[in-house]
Amino acid sequence: MKDQFLTKKILNWYDLNKRSLPWRKNVLSAKKQYFTLVSEFMLQQTQVATVIPYFKRFIKEIPNLNSLAKTSDKKLLKLWEGLGYYSRVKNLKKTAQILKKNFQGKLPNNFEDLISLPGIGNYTANAILAIAFNKPYIPLDGNVERVLKRYLFLKENKEISKEYLSKKKSILGSSIRSSDYAQALMELGALICKPINPLCSKCPISNKCKSFKKREFNFIKNRKKNLDKYFILSVYKKDKKYLLVKNTKFKFLKNLGIFPMQELMKPKKFKKTLNFKMSNMNMNIKIEYPKDIREASSFYSYWVDQKKIRNSMLPTFTKKVFKYLESH
Ligand code: SF4
């Protein structure tokens, strides 16, 4: 794909077919950087369609980096409620505060500084440099990886490793329209080179695509193995109120309100009441209703009125458990 003719084809296709997304609006440079930062944090682990309403609400309430650095955690969590992976919004605020203090309130335009900021890894740094600063970087998200693997017909385990793909991505070429080109590749993967049934007849690069020539589009997925975890979840109810604790015990949902829980290590007999998937964790949960509250009450515990749970600032996980309790 090194030849400029193909790069041009992809860009032409993008110009005609790109989705109108709120973070792609034509705005001034500072705003573009802010839009890119917020959208890239939101898009980590989350689909475009889910992110759109959250992004619009977030930008309306918190229009720039300066206001983000000052926004209370309570308000931020409320705006993020339902998106999951709450550490993202905490890192986003920390990043805004560092930018304000050390970078004159601006996003740095180099890889080393970007990667030093909380919540910004290799992928997000590449995406920011390409999209916000028009630099010739190609962020390898799942969509771009798929295009690359199919275009080159990469199937072997070693060929589909992150390291190998990172080396191969130079084959995707570059353009002076780096911002558009990075987004064009992502869009091509999302809209045309779909995981199942790719729309090759509409693809601008089909004439050189090896998978298309072979009519073979599937490859082994380098899936993360889901970890089975077991928990006892204790429900205490008094005067139509439930006891919750601020989670300081588990790595997930840190500092958020959850029902008191205890993890069991590979129990022999475990009759689960509920199952919940979180990140690469398969949570098997057994609900119990202990009488003695002393074990659960601590500095971090508090009562929440059952009527207020639905609209309160609690993680989806807690709300789902609550929904289950209400219906059983
Ligand atoms: S031709 Fe088909 S398989 Fe190849 S990149 Fe295009 S959509 Fe994907």
Domain identity same for 53 and 186:
yes
Which residue of 10, 14, 150 sits with most ligand 1 atoms within 8 Å of its CB, as the best mutation to test the pocket? 150
Domain identity same for 106 and 175:
yes
pLDDT, residue 75, reads 94
Domain identity same for 170 and 277:
no
- Does residue 219 lie in a domain region? no
pLDDT, residue 171, reads 78
Domain identity same for 208 and 121:
yes
Element (DSSP H or E) covering residue 79: helix 73-80
Of all protein residues, the one whose alpha carbon is nearest to atom 8 of ligand 1 is 193
- Does residue 58 lie in a domain region? yes
Of all protein residues, the one whose alpha carbon is nearest to atom 2 of ligand 1 is 200
The pLDDT of residue 173 is above 80: no
Q: Is 178 helix (H, G, I), strand (E, B) or coil?
A: helix
Is 147 close to ligand 1, i.e. is its CB under 6 Å away? Answer: yes
Is 150 close to ligand 1, i.e. is its CB under 6 Å away? Answer: yes
Is 204 close to ligand 1, i.e. is its CB under 6 Å away? Answer: no
Q: Give the domain CATH number at 153.
A: 1.10.340.30
Domain identity same for 210 and 238:
no
Which residue of 211, 214, 216, 217 sits with most ligand 1 atoms within 8 Å of its CB, as the best mutation to test the pocket? 211
Distance 183 CA to ligand 1 centre (A): 17
Read off the tokens for 299.
Answer: 């500095």
User: Could you give the percent of the chain with pLDDT greater than 90?
Assistant: 72
Distance 207 CA to ligand 1 centre (A): 9
Domain identity same for 8 and 141:
yes
Please name the residues in contact with 3: beta carbons below 8 A apart, sequence gap of 6 or more.
173
Q: Which of 55-64, 157-166, 201-210 has the lowest mean pLDDT?
A: 157-166
Domain identity same for 234 and 256:
yes
Is 13 close to ligand 1, i.e. is its CB under 6 Å away? Answer: no
Distance 210 CA to ligand 1 centre (A): 8
Atom of ligand 1 nearest to the CA of 199: 7
Domain identity same for 190 and 96:
yes
Domain limit, last residue, from 214, 240, 257: 214
Span 65-90, average pLDDT: 92
Is 205 close to ligand 1, i.e. is its CB under 6 Å away? Answer: yes
d(CA 141, CA 125): 12
Domain hosting residue 125, numbered range: 4-214
- Does residue 82 lie in a domain region? yes
Span 264-287, average pLDDT: 91
Task: Please report which confidence band the pLDDT of residue 273 belongs to, taking 50, 70 and 90 as the band edges.
Answer: very high
For the chain, what is the domain count? 2
- Does residue 39 lie in a domain region? yes
- Does residue 222 lie in a domain region? no
pTM of the model: 0.75
Q: Give the domain CATH number at 275.
A: 3.90.79.10
Domain identity same for 264 and 305:
yes
d(CA 318, CA 106): 37
Of all protein residues, the one whose alpha carbon is nearest to atom 1 of ligand 1 is 206
The pLDDT of residue 13 is above 80: yes
Task: Please report which confidence band the pLDDT of residue 3 belongs to, taking 50, 70 and 90 as the band edges.
Answer: low
The pLDDT of residue 174 is above 90: no
pLDDT, residue 221, reads 59
Is 193 close to ligand 1, i.e. is its CB under 6 Å away? Answer: yes
Domain identity same for 257 and 206:
no
Is 217 close to ligand 1, i.e. is its CB under 6 Å away? Answer: yes
Domain identity same for 107 and 238:
no
Q: Which of 194-203, 281-290, 299-308 has the lowest mean pLDDT?
A: 299-308
Closest C-alpha to 222, from 276, 184, 165? 165
Q: Where are the beta strands (DSSP E) in the chain?
A: 227-234, 237-238, 241-246, 257-258, 261-264, 274-278, 281-288, 301-305
pLDDT, residue 130, reads 96
Closest C-alpha to 105, from 64, 75, 45? 64
Can 40 be counted among the known catalytic residues?
Answer: yes
Q: Which of 40, 81, 145, 187 is catalytic?
A: 40
d(CA 286, CA 321): 11
pLDDT digits (tens, 9 = 90+) for 81-111: 889 888 899 999 999 999 999 999 999 999 9
Other C-beta atoms lying within 10 Å of the C-beta of residue 196: 6
- Does residue 261 lie in a domain region? yes
Is 192 close to ligand 1, i.e. is its CB under 6 Å away? Answer: yes
Span 144-150, average pLDDT: 93
Task: Please report which confidence band the pLDDT of residue 220 belongs to, taking 50, 70 and 90 as the band edges.
Answer: low
